[in-house]
Amino acid sequence: MGIVGLGRIGRAVARRCRAYEMRVLAHDVAPDPAYAASHGIELTSLERLLAESDFVTLHAPHVRETDGLIDAARLRLMKPTAVLINTARGGLVDEAALYEALAARRIAGAGLDVFRREPPTGSPLLSLDNVVLTPHAAGSDLASEAATGRCCVDSILAVARGGAPSSTLLLNPEASAAARTRRRLVSP
């Protein structure tokens, strides 16, 4: 498995892959060698990751530097048996180049739930039999939206009362702890 972007979601994917004793390669712009070593993840260049991975999964942000990150040249590095998975951001992949690689069977397949233009109406990717396309919001329903709203309100009320949101809801709990410490130091 090749993981592009070893943040919170990339790390969660890596843990699951390692549970199945998969070899995990990862590329990240801000690598954490200690984390990678302790979890059996091999940090490497993007080019090597693409060349050696059977599956490549993208978990990077879409910023100017990553726009079209997976382009025709990088798709040519992939094995003909490889599958590209993008559940991060549509702009990471040059969709025209991906279409060409899939149509020519230069890579085996792709799984996409994000697109540069959403919904992907009229996309040539829709015509291919070696790509799976799903909506990014497939897990959203009325119950999950209501639960999200309750969590937001509970978190706001907790902070307003001088506390903190539940640690299970915080992406970076260390920032919340640091903010509380700063408030205590400057409070009269």
Where does the chain show beta strands of DSSP type E? Answer: 2-4, 24-27, 41-43, 55-58, 83-86, 109-112, 131-133
Mean pLDDT of the chain: 90
Catalytic-labelled residue, pool 27, 62, 74, 89? 89
Cis bond leading into 120, ω under 30°?
no
Cα-Cα end-to-end distance for the chain = 53
Catalytic-labelled residue, pool 118, 145, 150, 183? 118
Q: What is the pTM of this model?
A: 0.76
The total of other beta-carbon atoms located within 10 Å of residue 111's CB is 15
The answer to whether the CB of 6 falls within 8 A of the CB of 28 is yes
| pLDDT tens-digit series, residues 27-60 | 999 999 999 999 999 999 999 999 999 999 999 9
pLDDT, position 99: 98
Name all contacts of 167-176 with Cβ < 8 Å and 24+ positions apart.
171/8
- Which strands make up the sheet holding 109-112, listed edge to edge? 41-43, 24-27, 2-4, 55-58, 83-86, 109-112, 131-133
The DSSP call for residue 93 is B
The dihedral built from the CA positions of residue 116, 119, 125 and 128, taken in this order, carries a sign that is positive
Alpha-carbon gap, residue 38 to 87, rounded angstroms: 26
Alpha-carbon gap, residue 127 to 105, rounded angstroms: 14
Name the architecture of domain 2-133. Answer: 3-Layer(aba) Sandwich (3.40)
Mark whether 23 is an active-site residue: no
Catalytic-labelled residue, pool 18, 39, 106, 136? 136
Mark whether 136 is an active-site residue: yes
Alpha-carbon gap, residue 169 to 187, rounded angstroms: 26
pLDDT, position 176: 60
Question: In the 3-class helix/strand/coil scheme, how is 40-61 assigned residue by residue?
Answer: CEEECCHHHHHHHCCEEEECCC
pLDDT, position 144: 79
Mark whether 89 is an active-site residue: yes
| pLDDT tens-digit series, residues 1-22 | 999 999 999 999 999 999 999 9
Q: Where are the domains of the chain?
A: 2-133, 142-186
| pLDDT tens-digit series, residues 107-136 | 999 999 999 988 888 999 999 999 999 887
The answer to whether the CB of 135 falls within 8 A of the CB of 112 is no
